[in-house]
Amino acid sequence: MRIGELSRSSGCDVETIRYYEREGLLDAPRREANGYRRYDEGHVVQLNFVRHCRSLGMSLSDVRRLREFERNPSQDCEDINTLLDRQIAQIHAQRVALESLEGQLRALRETCRHHQPASACGILQNLQQAAAGAGCECHATNG
C-alpha cells in the first residue's frame, strides 16, 4: 500500500508517518521503481504500536527504545521495566503538579464569588497584581 492508504487505514496523518519513518520508529518501506514508498501490513502494526505508545504518554525516544527491543527480542526486559517505571514516576509528578495548579486556581476563584463588574473582579485584580510583580492570592495560598 502507498502512504495515503496507510494514512487512511491507520487514521495517522501522512506527514506524521513520514516523521516517524525519519525518526526510525517505522521500518523503511521498500521503494517502487518510480520512487514511491510501498508499505505492508507490518508497517500498519508498527504504526499502531507507535501510536499506542504515544497514547500512553511515552516520548519518541522511549518508543524508539521499545522498537529496538522488538527488533532484538533476546534482550533482558529489565530495561523495559525501568522505562515504564520512569514513565509512571513522570505521570505521578505531573499529577502532583496538576493538583497544585488546581489548588491555585481554586484559591484564585475564591477571590471572586459574586456578580459584579469586571473592574471589581478579584480574579482579574489578582492576575493584574501578579503581572505587576506583586503577590497573587493563588500563589500565596499554594505556592
Task: Give the model confidence (pLDDT) of 79-127 as tens digits.
Answer: 999 999 999 999 999 999 999 999 999 999 988 878 888 888 889 988 9
Q: Which of 73, 95, 119 is the last residue of a domain?
A: 73
Q: What domain range is 66 assigned to?
A: 1-73
Whether residue 20 is found in the same domain as residue 65:
yes
Task: Single out the residue in 21, 40, 73 at which a domain terminates.
Answer: 73
Kindly report the backbone phi and psi dihedral angles of residue 39, in degrees, each rounded to the nearest multiple of 5, phi listed first.
Answer: -100, 155
Per DSSP, which regions of 26-87 are E strands? 30-31, 37-38
Q: What are phi and psi of 51, to 5 degrees?
A: -65, -35
Q: What is the mean pLDDT of residues 130-141?
A: 79
How many domains does the structure of the chain reveal? 2
Residue 138 pLDDT grade (very low, low, confident, very high; cuts 50, 70, 90):
confident
> Which residue is associated with the grid cell 505492508?
40
pTM, two decimals, is 0.75
- Whole-angstrom Cα distance, residue 108 to residue 126? 8
Amino acid at position 122, single letter: G
